[in-house]
Amino acid sequence: MADDNPIRFGLIGCAEIARKLSRAINLAPNTTLSAISSRSIEKAQQFRSKNGLPETVTIYGSYDQVLDDPQIDAVYMPLPTSLHVKWAVLAAQKKKHLLLEKPTALDVGELDEILETCRSNGVQFMDGTMWYHHPRTAKMKELVSDSLLFGQIRSIHSTSTFAETPEFFEHNIRVKPDLDALGALGDTGWYCIGAILWAMNHRLPTTVVASPPAHRNSAGIILSCTASLHWDDVDPQAVATFHCSFLSHVSMDLALRGSNGSVHLEDFIIPYEESCAFFDFTSGAKFVDLHIGWNVKPERVEVSSTLPQEALMVQEFGRLVKGVRDCGRSPDEKWPEISRMTQLVLDAVNKSIDLGFVPISL
């Protein structure tokens, strides 16, 4: 199955998440990790040796060097969000296809600059949301698209929460205004918003409104928030709520309720196990006589996966990049548009909080 002309990846930065992506790039059948960069050559070297990567992987002491390496087709960029616009634009200008960590930018204006540069330079853009690529996600979509089994979507609820350590709150980039100014909304809310949009077939909500409270640290970074979204143009109108937080035990809940069925899972972002994931599906539930029980229980739908979801993401990205590099195709526009919608809604939630929990029309 080895690809004799794989997409050659360079890492822009050696964040913790880059370890997971390095593995994924090497697991995906159509990509290979060719270079690593950090702001110091020592860090890049350490990353290579600690992660058991071969010496054939080039190490660089600056991001520019990866972008100038003609052997590199694509970059994975797990930099702090505030650095995205600078380095993503530069990468696109240097014709490097771009797999960019989420949140994609500090706001949609910055993201548009990135996307426009990708477009004008003919490079593929994708953000690093992995769960979209798990076969479980496709299976859920198949079921919730069934007008008999699931019916029309009515409500969605999603959470993405983590209980962070005191050290995290002191030192992590995700609570620093100059690095990841979107805090928990950007880091964890991104997934909730993405899941809601995914469930709504990427139809933008009519209105977004945050609910009190929104916790902030002393520097003003959001540590926890809650919001609801609604759609006027669905009849009867659909509603979604989400909660994201750095202050709560791990949760990754996704509940989808339609007119005829429902889907529940509690690990939608990172499945409990790599090789097999599941969700609960209920359809046509009614109460038995006297309302003393249900006629059906949720069915556990299991979906196995030959590759981890992050490798499937890299594989999909690699496939699109190959289309551009080897077959003269235009970059795919679906993934950038999904990123943009997610960022747009995220901005609206942020604005709603900033203005005192007022509704924001989209």
What is the longest distance spanned by two Cα atoms in the chain? 72
- Asked if 338 and 197 touch (Cβ cutoff 8 Å), the reply is yes
Nearest CA among 177, 160, 163 for reference residue 225: 160
Nearest CA among 255, 260, 257, 254 for reference residue 285: 260
How many CB atoms lie under 10 A from the CB of residue 206?
16
Number of residues written out for the chain: 362
Structure-derived torsion over alpha carbons of residues 313, 314, 316, 318, reported in degrees to the nearest 10: 170
- Counting contacts by CB under 8 A, is residue 220 touching its own copies? no
Stretch that binds its own copies, among 118-126, 259-267, 312-320, 334-342 (CB under 8 A): 259-267
At its nearest, how many Å lie between its own copies and the CB of residue 139?
19
- Counting contacts by CB under 8 A, is residue 351 touching its own copies? no
- Counting contacts by CB under 8 A, is residue 82 touching its own copies? no
What share of residues in the chain are helix, strand, coil (percent, to 5)?
40, 30, 35
At its nearest, how many Å lie between its own copies and the CB of residue 43?
18
Task: Look up tokens 């005192």; give the residue.
Answer: 356
- Size of site (CB under 8 A) for its own copies: 67
Of residues 26 through 55, those in contact with its own copies by CB under 8 A are: none
102 is catalytic: yes
Task: Look up tokens 């590099």; give the residue.
Answer: 325
- Of 96, 102, 139, 322, catalytic: 102
Of residues 140 through 169, those in contact with its own copies by CB under 8 A are: 151, 154-155, 157, 159, 161, 163
The residues annotated with a catalytic role in the active site are 102
Contacting residues toward its own copies, per CB under 8 A: 17, 19-20, 23, 151, 154-155, 157, 159, 161, 163, 207, 209, 211-213, 215, 223-224, 226, 228, 230, 232, 236-237, 239, 241, 243, 245, 247-251, 253, 255, 257-262, 264, 266-267, 270-274, 280, 282-283, 285-287, 290-294, 297-298, 308, 310, 357, 359
